[in-house]
Structure 1
Amino acid sequence: MLDSADATLSMQRTRGRAEVVLSAAANGAKLRNLHQSGSAKAMLPRNHSPRPEIVFLNTAGGLTGGDKMRFAVTLEDGAQATATTQTAERAYASSGGVAELEVDLTLGRGADLDWLPQETILFEHSALRRRTTARLTGDARLLMVETVVLGRAAMGEVLSDISLLDHRHVTRDNRPVLVEPLRLTGDSLARRGAVAGLNGARAFATVALIAPGAEDALAPMRAVLAGCTDVAVGSSGWDGKCVARLMAADAMPLRHALVALLSNLRGAALPRVWQI
């Protein structure tokens, strides 16, 4: 049958959904609901803080065309937590179709979430569509980071054919407060040396603090980043937001800068899975 001219092979694709709901408790947030299906897992390792850590994991080891993954965190009123990923996510070459990654964050009044996923590494011929949606209520606080690495420098990889559509949409009380679409293609990479583009960078990241009075964090943020001489930085603070954009020639100096910046903004060390 496989030799038949009409025979077609359907490639196996990854499907995964992991969702965590936490509520406030006297000794820290407590788990209200946990869903795990397919290759998506969510772990809550023990730590010595009343603030729990949620670690998301894709057991498939990466994403390729046709894969679909969803991670979701809901913090009820007053709950606090940190969420991250167990390792860097990898978008591998696609033989057809686009990999889809959806991140959904919901914060009630007084909730406080640090969304700190590790890097997303793009491989040649990868196609990834990612959408991060955060819905904040009242005085909720959100610290978030997204990092993209264009291939592996140690392997001498230089990408020329990729498709990345990355969209971040944050609302407070149903009103948009941060909307950021990013499209990166082979045409973009062909102009990677442009000053108005990547300016030769192989790795880039966005850090955003969204909270009442977040603009007050701008001066401390700039003080930390001033010491990161191997990273190009732009930062601004306005209207309850403080945003920094970082670019580097390689992933490692960018990661060191992110560790310093995020630790300062959090007032605490990063989750253990971030340790270098």
Structure 2
Amino acid sequence: MNALIPPSVRLERSDGSAHVVLGQARGAVRLRDLAQRGSAKAFLPHVDSAVPEVVFLNTSGGLTGGDRLDYRLELGPECRAVATTQTAERAYSAGEGAARVQVLHEVGRGGWLDWLPQETILFNGSALERRTEIRLAPEAGCLMVESVVLGRAAMGETVGRLAFRDTRLVMREGRPVLVEPLCLDDHVLAAAGSPAVLGGARALATLALVTRGAEDALGPVRTVLDEPGVEAAASAFDGKLVMRMLAPDGWPLRRQVARVLAVLRGRALPQVWQI
């Protein structure tokens, strides 16, 4: 427990959920249902595109021990949508327990989802457990990215202690297509300078494209994996294209992610991204 807080004091924790349902109606993708509670919000800004954008927001301003956050998006058959977060999520020092985040998106038959959340910034002493699952129906596909930054280099912050467990899954008809477990803790940070771990990097990202013929994008993607200061590689097989990136700070990583997304998407980034 934080030494500045008496053990008898029970701190208030944030708890929020936001659930959006989109479906086809009169030849367009339209909002079918919206439910939100507590610190989690969702809104659909007007964009000049036939593909709607869903923006999730945590109004508590960050996460700490004991907080709960739940985002969910359902897309009906043949629906295409982009989902993102309004800003970077921040996990602050946790006096006790871990913050827990659940993300569940379902994509109907023939649908498509771009899940493009902004970075997660982990501060010293943070504790966060997150599970992201995208469920694809037959002939559905997705593009997803997750970026993690260890503190803010410009502010001189260092991270020597944390507990971060992140699980990302893409399922198709109940079967796993992509499983991405990530664990960062004190032991990993102690060896973070090793090439077998982070190689001294403070920012990392994984980007995955899951669709029939994803392998065809490997060549074009590799041509833009040359952002200064970023180490990146890509591979593709069996309807999946996966890229991993390491950088000394979040800004060059963000530029590299944006360049890859431009190749894969062929259109502008979500409006809330600031590039």
Match of 1:127 in 2: 127
Distance in structure 1 (CA, Å) of the matches to 2:27 and 2:264: 23
The letter for the 2-side match of 1:90 is R
Match of 2:99 in 1: 99
Task: Determine if the alignment matches structure 1 residue 201 to structure 2 residue 201.
Answer: yes
Match of 1:266 in 2: 265
Deviation at 1:7, TM superposition (A): 8.4
Deviation at 1:229, TM superposition (A): 3.0
Superposition TM-score, scaled by structure 1 size:
0.96
Compared CA separation, residues 78 and 15, structure 1 to 2 (3 A): same
How many residues matched? 270
Deviation at 1:25, TM superposition (A): 3.4
Q: Deviations over 1:21-41 (max 9, x none)?
A: 101234431011101100000
Distance in structure 2 (CA, Å) of the matches to 1:174 and 1:215: 23
Q: Deviations over 1:112-150 (max 9, x none)?
A: 100000000000000000000111011101000000000
Distance in structure 2 (CA, Å) of the matches to 1:114 and 1:243: 14
Match of 2:3 in 1: none
SS of the counterpart of 1:274?
Answer: coil
SS of the counterpart of 1:273?
Answer: coil
Match of 1:34 in 2: 34
Q: Deviations over 1:216-263 (max 9, x none)?
A: 1111110121x3132101210000100000000011100000111112
Match of 1:143 in 2: 143
Distance in structure 2 (CA, Å) of the matches to 1:238 and 1:152: 35
Distance in structure 1 (CA, Å) of the matches to 2:10 and 2:228: 49
Gapped runs of 5+ residues in structure 2? 1-5
The letter for the 2-side match of 1:189 is L
Q: Deviations over 1:184-212 (max 9, x none)?
A: 10110111111011000000000000011
| Alpha-carbon contact 2:92-2:123 (below 8 Å) kept | yes
Distance in structure 2 (CA, Å) of the matches to 1:115 and 1:188: 27
- Superposition map of 1:212-251 within 5 A: 212-225=212-225, 227-251=226-250
Match of 1:181 in 2: 181
| Alpha-carbon contact 1:65-1:95 (below 8 Å) kept | yes
Identity %: 53
Distance in structure 1 (CA, Å) of the matches to 2:185 and 2:25: 46
Distance in structure 2 (CA, Å) of the matches to 1:18 and 1:263: 28
Match of 2:59 in 1: 59
Distance in structure 2 (CA, Å) of the matches to 1:215 and 1:172: 18
Distance in structure 2 (CA, Å) of the matches to 1:47 and 1:173: 31
Deviation at 1:275, TM superposition (A): 2.2
| Alpha-carbon contact 1:106-1:134 (below 8 Å) kept | yes
Match of 1:21 in 2: 21
Distance in structure 2 (CA, Å) of the matches to 1:28 and 1:42: 20
Superposition TM-score, scaled by structure 2 size:
0.96
Distance in structure 2 (CA, Å) of the matches to 1:223 and 1:28: 35
Match of 1:78 in 2: 78
The letter for the 2-side match of 1:274 is W
| Alpha-carbon contact 1:24-1:80 (below 8 Å) kept | no
Instruction: Find runs of 4+ consecutive structure 1 residues off by over 6 angstroms.
Output: none
| Alpha-carbon contact 2:114-2:144 (below 8 Å) kept | yes
Match of 2:168 in 1: 168
- What value does the CA root-mean-square deviation take over the aligned residues? 1.2
Deviation at 1:175, TM superposition (A): 1.1
Distance in structure 1 (CA, Å) of the matches to 2:39 and 2:20: 15
The letter for the 1-side match of 2:255 is H
Q: Deviations over 1:24-80 (max 9, x none)?
A: 234431011101100000010011111100000000000000000000011010001
